[in-house]
Structure 1
Amino acid sequence: MQTAQQMYQEKLCKAAEALAVLRDGDMIIVPTGVGEPPALLTALSSQRRTFQDVKVAQILAMRKFDYFDIDTAHHVRHAALFLGGASRAAGQTGWCDFIPNYFSELPKLIDDGLMPADAVFSLASPINEQGFFSLSLGTDYTMAAVAKARAVVLECNPNVPFAHGQCHVHISQVTRIVESAEQVMEVGLPTIGPVQEAIGKYVADMIDDGSTLQIGYGGIPDAVVMQLSGKHDLGIHTEMMGDGILTLVECGAVTNRQKSFMKGKMVATFALGSNKLYQFMHHNPMIEMHPSNFTNDPYIAGQNDKLMSINASLQVDLLGQCGSESIGHLPYSGTGGQSDFVRAANRSRGGKSFIVLPSTAKDNTLSRIVPVLSPGTHVSTSKNDVNYVVTEYGVAQLRGKSAKQRAQALIAIAHPDFRGELRAAANKMGVF
């Protein structure tokens, strides 16, 4: 019987050679963010013209590899589960695929065969003595794809942490192995200005000691984090493990001692931050990385008492509908985990969900609080789910409120320059 190391050596190859596992028409599943394997995707880009109709499905691509090419999109193209800087232009002009989804349901879409998973390309930790790799940087939907795929190719890198949780793949499940040694991509904290700070203070003031946090990506969620250093016994149950959370651990605000679900553990499904964060995750018994159908499931996440969900939006209408992922009909990002965690916080005993956004856009020329969402806008959080909406002008609590009360509360936190026309629009619509 072969040992794990013998199997490893037998499956080890160069990135270009690993592409032999692919077939025309394949869907390649790639993890969220920095879990993407750069050597494999660079090799795929170089050889893209040798394939037909191969798709690369991923939430939040970080690097604009050469396969992001309109002229070769019929050979290899991106299938965006969430758009970011690398993929947004392709998504808005239609030469990459855009697949709407809830982050929590992606593993089930793969399990049920509704989203193909022919191959997996993923960054992974080195193999351990028991023959396991850790997909710590992007556990998400990738673990479901590993169980389903015809071919699993791992790019092993000594800079990838070996984390605890449901994020381990055994050598027997792997088809090919590629080695790389470059530093894992680092993603810095967003820039925070006075508007973000003001919003962050409103939210921070409403978070009690002993709360469990879900923190989305962006300047405003991070502005909230920066103002939580004086809190006590916070817990973490989130989708993204980032440097803001690490800061709260280091200052003693996060202890996980008062969590009602998985006490003592920080739970996440992907990591996005600095090398310091990745090193912090390595064999850290405080952290568990789990698939998104565990971390983001509203029933599971809602078992945390006082769950605080903090997510950004682009536009909110007077009924409370949140357009967080498109500008009109043009996709800008994706649903991600916003809807999952808003509903989880609503289920949680003592939970609160916060939708945060500046009151204006384009140098104060456009109001983000609007009578109705722009035509074609993708609704991310429904009127029935939204709880607190926060701008730099205050907090509007919407659950249990009538349409008239909602409009009044939202106009009160709009930029003063737009409140008159919002009232006039509400009157015209028969809301007032």
Structure 2
Amino acid sequence: MRFPHITEDKEYRGDWQDDYKRKLVSAEDAAKVVKSGDRVALPFAHPTQVPLALGKRKDELKNVYLEINAPSVDPGWLQPGWEEHFFVGAINFLGPMGRPSHDAKVTSFIPCLMSLRPKLIDEGRRNWKSDIDVFMTNVAPPDKNGFCSFGPHLWNKKSYAQRAKTVIAEVDENMVYPYRGNNLIHVSEIDYFVEAPTPRVTDEQLRELILTTVKDESKHQVWIDVLTKANKHEPEYMARGYNLMGPLMDILSPDFFTGVMGLEDPYPEAEVMAGYVRELIRDGDTIEIGAGRPTTWLPRVGLFDGFQDLGVHSEMTAWGQHELIEQGIFNGKRKTLHRGKAIYSALDGAGWDGYLWMSDNPLVEMYDCEYVHNPTVIAQNDNMVAINSVLQVDFTGQITCETQFGPRMINGPGGQLDFHLGAFMSRGGRAISMLRSLAFGGSSTIVPQLPEGSLATIPRQFADYVVTEYGIASLAGKSHRERANDLIAIAHPDFRAELKKEAQKLFYP
């Protein structure tokens, strides 16, 4: 069902207040815009109410293609049995909710650089429908000039909205805004508004939820401590996920949830690894910090303490980094692009205090992934340093952050390849891959060859520096044999003898 009276060509209107009221609908009516055969896009940190309403229309729809960045809500389409109605293509990230669906082969992954998705919409490809029929996003309420902010979770929302045939926006009055840069969309550019504020959840509500849903009473206090801490650090995400948490707490462990929220304490090796990374950083460098362990802990373990005039050009931030901006360690004085500004596509990782400090702060600007993640833009920063967490590295320098022990996807690459390539091409740039020498379960993360079915995120031609708790392997420009020797030197001591034997078989006559 379409509403022709409000889907005329989008153009700036001075009477935006009337325009907004005219476009205001319920979540159920907004969901009726989607028809069979449509391609619907949900961005990172996507809305919840309209997708849930869309799921209720399952029996009315067929062959709806859902392009979802890091699925965070499941009306049922992540489960077997809905494939005739909804096909789920996860793009960029799987996340903890998308991973089981991918394991069950319900969800299929779309490999694509985050910076290049808009290119495929603009240019298309043979025998492939690239257009986005409906895009669903969330925004803050309009300001006095009729502009809505995408808030701290911009990611790829702007580029999707600029290209979609129909844009639906859930309006969240509790979203933190505004932010500098290019993080706004005008009321005239949106086709439908659904007012869906995310009410904050109290600690007492979380306690009651735990007591009534977690069957194992011995875990009650642990869950209470974890969720109370999470509610202080990320109240927005906690509020969005409140109605979904109950069933998950009997499936997931408190430790797993702590890791997903980025609240766990750094493991002991993190500080040692940061010490090695410190050897690769110089005053005046521009830094990107990727998601995951151990990179997300780097500001908290003192990696950047004592450096001068560091800059930021990053897809996201990390807990504690905004404090280093405030202290002047990250001041961007020597940046060749956006001098004096910390550039992000999202502020995920900063936590609530970080969102508030960076809001309307002239030191911080946000731009869409189409720009921030573009390797040719990243490379314009002289002395660009990309620091990312990975899962496995093989002797030839192939690196994966997506799979481990074979074809099972742990996650998507996010922006890692974008930033690794951009830093590698930057004048004076360095691309650093970090991993512990042992995987969970005790096997070596440095392997002779990636297991069959593994996905190589970083091609070996672009391998640069690899860091474990045992040192630094510098791989660029070296032969397979030289790389193997350097990687064995930073592998866990318990595996070095066996790895040397494998290197002899592979690379010596």
Q: Is the 8 A contact 1:201 1:224 kept in 2?
A: no
For 1:113, the equivalent position in structure 2 comes to 124
Distance 1:190 1:392 in 2: 19
**Counterpart selection for 1:174 from 167, 186, 190:** 190
Distance 1:307 1:196 in 2: 22
Distance 1:271 1:24 in 2: 35
**Counterpart selection for 1:4 from 16, 20, 23:** 16
Distance 1:159 1:201 in 2: 40
CA deviations on 1:219-268 (whole Å, 9 max, x unpaired) are: 21123222223322221101113433223223432112221210111111
Distance 1:430 1:231 in 2: 41
2:116 is equivalent to residue 102 of structure 1: no
2:370 is equivalent to residue 293 of structure 1: yes
Distance 1:229 1:67 in 2: 46
**Counterpart selection for 1:130 from 131, 135, 145:** 145
Q: Is the 8 A contact 2:294 2:435 kept in 1?
A: yes
For 2:42, the equivalent position in structure 1 comes to 30
CA drift at 1:2? 6.0
For 2:85, the equivalent position in structure 1 comes to 75
CA deviations on 1:408-428 (whole Å, 9 max, x unpaired) are: 100000011111111111111
Q: Is the 8 A contact 1:345 1:352 kept in 2?
A: yes
For 1:371, the equivalent position in structure 2 comes to 448
Distance 2:508 2:331 in 1: 46
Distance 1:283 1:125 in 2: 14
2:162 is equivalent to residue 152 of structure 1: no
Distance 2:265 2:483 in 1: 31
Q: Please state whether the residue corresponding to 1:354 is helix, strand or coil.
A: strand
- The residue correspondences of 1:393-408 to structure 2 (distance < 5 A) are 393-408=470-485
CA drift at 1:67? 3.5
CA drift at 1:377? 0.8
2:271 is equivalent to residue 185 of structure 1: no
Which has more strand, going by share of residues? 1
**Counterpart selection for 1:225 from 274, 299, 306:** 299
CA deviations on 1:164-219 (whole Å, 9 max, x unpaired) are: 22332221111100112215216444441012222222113322222111110112
**Counterpart selection for 2:415 from 327, 337, 346:** 337
**Percent of aligned pairs with the same amino acid:** 33
CA drift at 1:41? 2.2
For 2:99, the equivalent position in structure 1 comes to 88
Q: Is the 8 A contact 1:197 1:220 kept in 2?
A: no
Distance 1:397 1:352 in 2: 10
- The residue correspondences of 1:131-280 to structure 2 (distance < 5 A) are 131-160=146-175, 161-182=177-198, 183=200, 184-185=236-237, 187-226=261-300, 227=302, 228-273=304-349, 274-280=351-357
2:429 is equivalent to residue 351 of structure 1: yes
Distance 1:384 1:305 in 2: 21
Q: Is the 8 A contact 1:203 1:224 kept in 2?
A: no
Distance 2:326 2:76 in 1: 39
Q: Is the 8 A contact 2:168 2:191 kept in 1?
A: yes
Gaps of 5+ in 2: 1-12, 201-235, 239-260
| Aligned amino acid, residue 417 of structure 2 | S
**Counterpart selection for 1:58 from 53, 62, 68:** 68
TM-score (normalised: structure 2): 0.80
For 2:254, the equivalent position in structure 1 comes to none
Q: Please state whether the residue corresponding to 1:361 is helix, strand or coil.
A: coil
| Aligned amino acid, residue 125 of structure 1 | A
**Counterpart selection for 1:19 from 21, 31, 35:** 31
Q: Please state whether the residue corresponding to 1:367 is helix, strand or coil.
A: coil
Distance 1:108 1:141 in 2: 13
Q: Is the 8 A contact 1:222 1:244 kept in 2?
A: no
Q: Is the 8 A contact 1:225 1:244 kept in 2?
A: yes
- How has the CA–CA distance of structure 1 residues 29 and 138 changed in structure 2, closer, same or farther, with 3 Å as cutoff? farther
- How has the CA–CA distance of structure 1 residues 302 and 157 changed in structure 2, closer, same or farther, with 3 Å as cutoff? same
- How has the CA–CA distance of structure 1 residues 431 and 306 changed in structure 2, closer, same or farther, with 3 Å as cutoff? farther
- How has the CA–CA distance of structure 1 residues 158 and 279 changed in structure 2, closer, same or farther, with 3 Å as cutoff? farther
Q: Please state whether the residue corresponding to 2:96 is helix, strand or coil.
A: coil
- How has the CA–CA distance of structure 1 residues 23 and 318 changed in structure 2, closer, same or farther, with 3 Å as cutoff? same
Distance 1:284 1:243 in 2: 17
CA drift at 1:293? 2.3
| Aligned amino acid, residue 167 of structure 1 | N
Of the structure 1 ranges 394-403 and 267-276, higher mean CA displacement relative to structure 2 is found in: 267-276
Distance 1:398 1:421 in 2: 21
Q: Is the 8 A contact 2:159 2:370 kept in 1?
A: no
- How has the CA–CA distance of structure 1 residues 258 and 2 changed in structure 2, closer, same or farther, with 3 Å as cutoff? closer
Alignment: residue pair count: 429
Distance 1:284 1:67 in 2: 40
Of the structure 1 ranges 315-324 and 145-154, higher mean CA displacement relative to structure 2 is found in: 145-154
- How has the CA–CA distance of structure 1 residues 276 and 48 changed in structure 2, closer, same or farther, with 3 Å as cutoff? farther
CA deviations on 1:63-91 (whole Å, 9 max, x unpaired) are: 44543222223323432012110101111
- How has the CA–CA distance of structure 1 residues 368 and 353 changed in structure 2, closer, same or farther, with 3 Å as cutoff? same
Distance 1:360 1:429 in 2: 22
Instruction: Say what the alpha-carbon RMSD is for the aligned residues.
Output: 2.0
Q: Is the 8 A contact 2:40 2:132 kept in 1?
A: yes
